[in-house]
Amino acid sequence: MTDRALLEAGTESPAFTLPDQDGRSRSLADYRGERVILFFYPEAMTPGCTTEACDFRDSTAPLEAAGYRVLGISRDAVEKLRRFADRDGLEYPLLSDPELSVHHAYGAYGEKNSYGRIIEGVIRSTFVIDAEGRVAHALYNVKATGHVARVRKLLGV
């Protein structure tokens, strides 16, 4: 098992460029000047991840009205992300990180407790990034259900 570095509020957000569900390259730098909600989820089309992704979908309009852009990241292939987006009407970018480089940079991959067993895997995490590219909030080990409501409350949206 590997140790992982955790990001804290005020630190520079690790830069990245990844393909989205349409194969289009998306970079964090593309969103400079905007606030971003970046959420890491374990696997597209699983029950918990679907709940979380759909909660973000249902909150996209108020979040965007408050000046936030939503981006999801998983290790899923672009083709699976396209199916996920089509199946559940997800219109925000879903980014593919199969090599887990961005997961590791954000501390969203490592040891976790899964039903009483310590395993290595994706750690459901959300980061709020300010317009200057700094971490405003780093939320690790979040639960899929109710998480988006918690984020909205934290941001006053």
For residue range 34-71, list pLDDT tens digits in order: 999 999 999 999 999 999 999 999 999 999 999 999 99
Return the active site residues.
Answer: 49
| DSSP structural state of residue 29 | G
How far apart CA 141 and CA 44 sit, in angstroms, is: 17
Residue spans of alpha helices (H) in 11-156? 47-65, 78-88, 101-106, 147-155
Q: Which two tokens stand for residue 24?
A: 């289009």
Q: Which two tokens stand for residue 74?
A: 């998983």
- pTM (2 decimals)? 0.94
pLDDT at 118: 86
Q: Answer whether residue 114 shows pLDDT above 80.
A: no
Q: Answer whether residue 1 shows pLDDT above 60.
A: no
